[in-house]
Amino acid sequence: AEAQGMTREEYEEYQRQLVEEKMERDAQFAQRKAERATVRSHFRDKYRLPKNETDDNQIQLVGGDVELPKELAKMIEQDNEEEEEKNSVIGQLTNIQNLDLDSLKDKASATLEDLKQSAEKCSVM
């Protein structure tokens, strides 16, 4: 301490600050690791993949209740919306190859018109 031009008290204060900064950095790093582990866990649950003990340990290390950053939460929300859209009936129809929804609508409309005209001509109706 004397070689650096500090008194003993200044040196001890400097060492204390270094330790506090390191602890803060370590806590922030652990929080980020837990957030990433939460995202990975979410996708493992979604795609029914086996759980990872390391991710569970990282989440529990910071207290178990990890709040995702806004950007990651938005990504997951958008992914869920896309998944819901794909699972809908229209989404399933758009997945079928060589299916033209416009031509299908036109054919359905034409069929309805034909049915109406044939119903008007029918003497029983």
95 vs 103, residue with greater confidence: 103
pTM above 0.75, yes or no: no
Residue 92 lies in a domain: no
Residue 74 lies in a domain: no
Residue 30 lies in a domain: yes
Residues 62 and 112 in one domain: no
Domain count, the chain: 2
CA triplet 109, 120, 117: central angle to 5 degrees? 30
Residue 34 pLDDT exceeds 90 = no
Residue 109 lies in a domain: yes
Residue 80 lies in a domain: no
Residues 55 and 106 in one domain: no
d(CA 8, CA 6): 6
Domain that residue 51 falls in? 1-67
